[in-house]
Amino acid sequence: MSVLSSLTADDSSSSSSASQRYVNESCLEFLVMETVDTMFRTTLDAESDREAVFSKLEMLGYRVGQSLVERYLGFL
């Protein structure tokens, strides 16, 4: 039983599911914001390295998406 499940055990099933989804979406959104911010902070010259940052972010997103597809296709 997860921590969030134990905290919301008294709630109805639908409200528990909605709050879990909200927490999941918020965590993912904060992770993406911090990843983008970190990529831009690690460049020396923001203007000249902008394309490199976009390329790194695109490759990271592609690898994560590919991993998710491979993982969830295994469940079918």
What would the pLDDT profile of 14-63 be if each residue is shown by its tens digit? Answer: 778 889 999 999 999 999 999 999 888 887 776 778 888 888 899 999 99
Residues in the chain: 76
Residue pair 7/28 in contact (Cβ under 8 Å)? The answer is no
pTM higher than 0.85: no
